[in-house]
A and B are shown apart, each in its own frame.
Chain A
């Protein structure tokens, strides 16, 4: 549905987006990650046709945004970063305006409003003026606007920003449900959101794509990915360390004691064998007669990957 090819945006001498390419298919939810100022919003603005790219191409549903913007824009629902709304209108008036701009009138329009109002929990404020709403409501009003025409493509710039935890959860559920039939791009800097919602994630840093994969693939790039953690009682720290270091599949082993509990972290020798490592560690523990408290394989952590990829080199060295 969305094809982005070699997208470049320059603001004066500064290159905000540098050669970004990716595609999003129907049924995919793409998480767009990156530190502030990485070029996420600029990229999204080019996808929605708000600003033209310096070079490169965006096409949505087969329509080129530069040559054929109106049919492309018809397919897109867009929630801009600050969730702007016309503050002098009521929620109903605003949604009605958005529906009319999308070519809906009469019954169709009222039904569409009803649908998004229910979906976004706006019944209570329907006839309230937008400028009297709290931030969470205003945000959901703008979100409602973006889905009023049930678009095939959704571009959401930080859709959960400024919401309380319950609302965040709700919005995530909505996105997840809609993602089955649509192509969705959303940007966030909440990493757990990516894990729970996205089928794919892209990390962008200083204008360039630095990682692209499923959340699981990205997590596997973390240093702790594949590490096995073992907590036992009934064995000494030194015994544990020497026994586990002797395992075929084990790499570096670090041991900590806390009262009678010994915690060991075993780095795999080879990442591919991580499942076997957990099994070998478990067998070793049984043979030695330790009482097992906990045994588990780390999946890796997205925030670690994020940090290791996006921190500038100088900061990385100091850290």
Chain B
């Protein structure tokens, strides 16, 4: 990557990040994210009753569901707003490549999500205070959660390029991410098992984020799981590029 490219990416990312933190959206988002995390961990997750110095079940296991709604909400305006206001025309006539803009926006949102995730650190302090947890496993959980957020976010980036309407972008993204959760869930695979060949069942199931996230959640960092999340991101961002090009060509 040339220094020009990284400068362009960073300029765009900086603009988006300022956009987040200069508006109330960021703070509302972070507060809700933290409240939901607290509620799920301590109330539904029965953190105290389990009596186990681990974050795997009470904390990380809720993240696929919390992200399901919050990540699309954080990313839905990335491209749809550019399209609606017409700034897309400005952005894409600057002397930069489209992929630099796509990556810049993605990175900015991912940093924002990372900040929100980072602010859950009191949970880790709590578990450290009450017992002696495996900090390696917690780190793996955070890494998995960060990658999961990135995968959802990349999907949202793609759906937001599809439409100038943020609500549509949000809904599409939730549906796709929901599929990514459910694909490997037994009731869903059981539906398929009845009539589909095994290869199709395992193909559909392999799209699921759950087993991959599950490994991280348990503290296992496997290259294959890493690769899965990275490929979801690459695929979605590449798809965004194709959509943006198609948009201008049509």
Q: Which residues of A contact B (CB under 8 A)?
A: 11-12, 45, 48-52, 70-71, 73-74, 76, 78, 80-82, 84-89, 93, 97-98, 100-103, 142, 145
B11 contacts partner chain A, Cβ-Cβ < 8 Å: yes
If the complex has contacts A84-B85, A88-B19, A97-B15, are A11 and B93 also in contact, measured as CB distance less than 8 A?
A: no
Chain A residues with CB under 8 A of B90:
78, 80, 84, 98, 142, 145
CB-based nearest A residue for B92: A50
Interface contacts beyond A50-B92, A101-B96: sample of 17 additional A-B pairs, CB < 8 Å, sorted by A = A48-B93, A50-B89, A50-B93, A51-B249, A73-B93, A73-B95, A74-B95, A85-B87, A86-B87, A89-B18, A89-B19, A97-B15, A101-B11, A101-B12, A101-B95, A102-B94, A102-B95
Give min CB distance, A88 to chain B, whole Å.
5
Q: Is the interface of B mostly helix, strand, loop or mixed?
A: helix
Contact in complex: A87, B92 (CB < 8 Å): no
Chain A residues with CB under 8 A of B22:
88
**How many angstroms between the C-alpha atoms of A87 and B19 in the bound complex?**
10
CB-based nearest A residue for B22: A88
Chain A residues with CB under 8 A of B250:
11-12
Give min CB distance, A68 to chain B, whole Å.
11
Contact in complex: A70, B96 (CB < 8 Å): yes
Contact in complex: B96, A50 (CB < 8 Å): no
The residues in B between 76 and 116 inclusive whose CB is less than 8 angstroms from any CB of A are: 85-87, 89-90, 92-97
B199 contacts partner chain A, Cβ-Cβ < 8 Å: no
**How many angstroms between the C-alpha atoms of A101 and B9 in the bound complex?**
10
Q: List 16 A-B contacts (CB under 8 A).
A: A11-B250, A48-B93, A49-B93, A50-B89, A70-B96, A70-B97, A74-B95, A78-B89, A80-B86, A80-B93, A84-B87, A84-B90, A88-B23, A98-B90, A101-B11, A101-B95
CB-based nearest B residue for A74: B95
Give min CB distance, A101 to chain B, whole Å.
4
B224 contacts partner chain A, Cβ-Cβ < 8 Å: no
Chain B residues with CB under 8 A of A52:
248-249
Give min CB distance, B17 to chain A, whole Å.
12
If the complex has contacts A51-B249, A97-B11, are A45 and B89 also in contact, measured as CB distance less than 8 A?
A: yes
CB-based nearest A residue for B20: A88
Contact in complex: B86, A78 (CB < 8 Å): no
Q: 0/1 per residue, B201-221, Cβ < 8 Å to A?
A: 000000000000000000000
Chain B residues with CB under 8 A of A76:
93
B63 contacts partner chain A, Cβ-Cβ < 8 Å: no
**How many angstroms between the C-alpha atoms of A65 and B76 in the bound complex?**
31
**How many angstroms between the C-alpha atoms of A39 and B179 in the bound complex?**
43
**How many angstroms between the C-alpha atoms of A27 and B12 in the bound complex?**
34
Contact in complex: B86, A82 (CB < 8 Å): yes
If the complex has contacts A76-B93, A102-B94, are A51 and B248 also in contact, measured as CB distance less than 8 A?
A: yes
Chain A residues with CB under 8 A of B89:
45, 50, 78, 80, 84
Chain A residues with CB under 8 A of B92:
49-50
Chain A residues with CB under 8 A of B87:
84-86
Give min CB distance, A117 to chain B, whole Å.
18
**How many angstroms between the C-alpha atoms of A98 and B185 in the bound complex?**
47
**How many angstroms between the C-alpha atoms of A146 and B89 in the bound complex?**
12
Chain A residues with CB under 8 A of B85:
84, 86-87
CB-based nearest A residue for B87: A84
Contact in complex: A101, B8 (CB < 8 Å): yes
Chain A residues with CB under 8 A of B248:
50-52
Chain A residues with CB under 8 A of B94:
73, 98, 101-102
The residues in B between 19 and 47 inclusive whose CB is less than 8 angstroms from any CB of A are: 19, 22-23
Give min CB distance, B16 to chain A, whole Å.
10
**How many angstroms between the C-alpha atoms of A12 and B250 in the bound complex?**
7
Chain A residues with CB under 8 A of B15:
86, 89, 97
**How many angstroms between the C-alpha atoms of A76 and B92 in the bound complex?**
12
**How many angstroms between the C-alpha atoms of A11 and B249 in the bound complex?**
9
Closest 9 CB pairs of A and B: A84-B86, A73-B95, A74-B95, A101-B94, A80-B89, A51-B248, A84-B87, A48-B93, A100-B11
Quick one: which of A50, A93, A100 contacts B18, CB cutoff 8 A? A93
CB-based nearest B residue for A75: B95
Give min CB distance, A81 to chain B, whole Å.
8
